[in-house]
């Protein structure tokens, strides 16, 4: 019997799950981390158990969540804890039972994932303090993409930088691994063809798959590249960064804040980073942000289709991909040139297949990063501590 806790610190939410022999019995998330943290259970019930009020901010919320989980499941009774760690660099490309050396290496990558790596490592350290003997496993977003052909890992920069690890890594790998594993149930052989997955959540990226493996992906060295996101700009002329620093005298920290936290849907709309708010608003700036989101999405899809040499299936996943029928419809209608045909009713109903039966398959598939982490953690613990 294995009892595992999984923690997934996204940029906007803190998700968790409890797995007994792979079966999930409790799953939920804390959202609105910065203002009014709120616990929402997706599986299991709160009964009269109250989630402690806490001030905003990742550290305070994490502390409150660990205290609540300890009361609820008894952390000391676990066999292990699995974590999503977004950046594994060049050295860590498979799940590991964390030791001091790993933690020091991963801390060195914090500047490459400022929204994700520091809070994830802080929770790991807090758990190590509480439970020094508890095995903790890190599962990496970057791992899925380490199979990308070298030419897709390179930037057009002097090659010494590539030798030093300045490469396109790619992220959301746990989500892509989950969707890739499940896709044959829906598509059969076609799942091994030319597939593009659009992971559209707070962070957004796309991945081109060939034979079920990552060929290339829209995120690069950091989770800032590629698609426009909730509060991140995505691909940007690097000349803008030079301009901000040289002509406007902005400090590095200010530029980082602008690109990671003040841009994307939030920056363009001036209203919200949350797609729900923008779709519900009739403010012209909200519509402009959504319009730009669609254009940027089409640009990314077009690039990946060109690299794949065609398209057999387009898959939408994560918060926006799974729930925003309007975004899927507006995107799919513009792909008629690829032979895509939208079934409007199926799309409105969030049916798993929403194409009209010809052209590339149009698919909605819920992602489950926590289930992926639970399975990977279990395999890693079994290999590291054979009975
Ligand atoms: N019904 C919906 N319609 C439109 N957007 C939605 C809907 N539900 C969730 N979203 C969007 O999904 C995004 C969050 O995605 P999610 O994958 O949960 O994020 P995270 O990166 O924190 O894991 C937010 O922008 C939210 O607005
Ligand atoms: C890597 C990344 O952007 O993750 P998230 O979507 O959870 O912010
Ligand atoms: Mg996410």
Q: Which protein residue's CA is at the shortest distance from atom 2 of ligand 2?
A: 203
Together in a domain, 104 and 202: no
- Is 14 one of the annotated binding-site residues? no
Burial class for 162, CB neighbours closer than 10 Å (0-12, 13-18, 19+): middle
Ligand 1 centroid to Cα of residue 214, in Å, is 24
Is 247 marked as a binding-site residue?
no
Q: Are 85 and 139 in contact (CB under 8 A)?
A: yes
Last residue of one domain, picked from the residues 81, 109, 140 = 140
Q: 10 Å Cβ neighbour count for 25? A: 12
Judgement on whether residues 216 and 91 belong to the same structural domain of the protein: no
**Residues 163-206: pLDDT tens digits?**
999 999 999 999 999 999 999 999 999 999 999 999 999 999 99
Among 276, 325, 328, 366, residue to substitute to test ligand 1 (most atoms within 8 Å of Cβ):
276
pTM of the model: 0.97
Using a 6 Å CB cutoff, which residues line ligand 2? 10-11, 86, 116, 141, 171-172, 201-203, 223
Residue 62 is encoded by which pair of tokens?
Answer: 């994490």
Residues 127 and 198 in one domain: no
Q: Cβ(13) to ligand 1 under 6 A?
A: yes
Whether 73 and 132 map to the same domain: the answer is yes
354 domain-assigned:
yes
pLDDT in tens, 349-375: 999 999 999 999 999 999 999 999 999
Say yes or no: 118 and 220 in one domain. Answer: no
Ion ligand 3: residues, CB within 5 A, are 10, 201
Sheet holding 213-217, edge to edge: 213-217, 204-210, 195-200, 313-317, 361-364
Same domain, yes or no: 94 and 230: no
Say what the pLDDT of residue 49 is. Answer: 66
Any idea what the CATH number is for the domain that residue 272 is in?
3.30.420.40
Note whether 199 and 74 are same-domain residues.
no
The answer to whether residue 303 is domain-embedded is yes
Confidence of residue 105 (pLDDT cuts 50, 70, 90): very high
Q: Is 324 in the pocket of ligand 1 (CB under 6 A)?
A: yes
Instruction: List the domain range (segments joined by +) for residue 33.
Output: 3-140
330 is in an annotated binding site: no
Q: Is there a domain that residue 148 lies in?
A: no
Q: Above 0.85 for ipTM, yes or no?
A: yes
Residue 369, domain member (yes or no):
no
Q: Who has greater pLDDT, 47 or 315?
A: 315
Q: Answer yes or no: is pLDDT of 320 > 90.
A: yes
Instruction: Clarify whether residues 63 and 121 are in a common domain.
Output: yes
Task: Pick the residue whose CA is nearest to atom 4 on ligand 2.
Answer: 203
Ramachandran angles phi, psi of 324, nearest 5°? -95, 85
**Active-site positions?**
141
Q: Are residues 194 and 337 in the same domain?
A: yes
Residue among 275, 317, 373 to mutate when testing ligand 1 (max atoms within 8 A of CB): 275
Whether residues 99 and 211 fall in one domain: no
Q: How many domains does the chain contain in total?
A: 2
Percent of the chain with pLDDT over 90: 89
Average pLDDT over residues 71-80: 94
Could you tell me where the DSSP H helices lie in 96-172?
100-108, 117-130, 150-153, 159-163
User: How many whole angstroms from 223 Cα to the centroid of ligand 3?
Assistant: 11
- Indicate which atom in ligand 1 lies nearest the CA of residue 12: 22
Q: Are 217 and 350 within one domain?
A: yes
Distance from the alpha carbon of residue 237 to the mean position of ligand 3, in angstroms? 25
Do 8 and 109 sit in the same domain of this protein? Answer: yes
In a domain? residue 256: yes
For a pocket test of ligand 1, which of 203, 319, 321 has the largest count of ligand atoms closer than 8 A to its C-beta?
Answer: 319
153 assigned to some structural domain: no
């Amino acid at each position: 019997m294995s009892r595992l806790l999984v923690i997934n610190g996204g940029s906007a939410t803190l998700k968790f799950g409890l797995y007994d022999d792979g079966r999930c019995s409790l799953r939920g998330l804390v959202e609105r981390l910065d203002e009014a943290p709120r616990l929402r259970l997706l599986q299991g019930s709160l009964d009269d158990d109250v989630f402690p009020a806490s001030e905003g901010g990742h550290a305070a919320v994490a502390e409150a969540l660990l205290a609540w989980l300890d009361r609820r499941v008894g952390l000391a009774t676990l066999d292990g804890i699995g974590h999503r760690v977004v950046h594994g660099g060049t050295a860590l490309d498979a799940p590991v039972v964390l030791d001091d050396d790993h933690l020091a290496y991963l801390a060195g990558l914090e500047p490459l994932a400022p929204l994700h790596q520091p809070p994830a490592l802080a929770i790991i350290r807090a758990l190590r303090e509480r439970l020094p003997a508890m095995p903790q496993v890190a599962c990496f977003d970057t791992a899925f993409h380490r199979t990308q052909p070298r030419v897709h890992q390179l930037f057009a920069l002097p090659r010494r930088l590539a030798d030093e690890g300045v490469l396109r890594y790619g992220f959301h790998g746990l989500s892509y691994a989950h969707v890739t594993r499940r896709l044959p149930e829906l598509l059969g052989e076609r799942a091994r063809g030319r597939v593009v997955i659009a992971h559209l959540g707070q962070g957004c990226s796309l991945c081109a798959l060939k034979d079920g493996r990552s060929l290339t992906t829209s995120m690069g060295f950091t989770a800032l590249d590629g698609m426009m996101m909730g509060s991140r700009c995505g691909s940007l002329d690097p000349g803008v960064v030079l301009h901000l620093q040289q002509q406007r005298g902005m400090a590095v920290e200010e530029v980082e804040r602008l690109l990671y936290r003040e841009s994307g849907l939030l920056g363009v709309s001036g209203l919200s980073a949350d797609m729900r708010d923008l779709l519900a608003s009739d403010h012209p700036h909200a519509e402009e942000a959504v319009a730009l989101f669609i254009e940027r999405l089409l640009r990314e899809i077009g690039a990946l289709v060109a690299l794949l040499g065609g398209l057999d299936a387009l898959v939408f996943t994560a918060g926006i991909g799974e729930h925003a029928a309007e975004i899927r419809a507006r995107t799919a209608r513009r792909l008629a040139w690829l032979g895509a045909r939208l079934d409007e009713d199926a799309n409105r109903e969030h049916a798993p297949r929403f194409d009209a039966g010809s052209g590339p398959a149009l698919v909605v598939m819920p992602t489950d990063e926590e289930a992926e982490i639970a399975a990977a953690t279990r395999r890693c613990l079994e290999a590291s501590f054979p009975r």
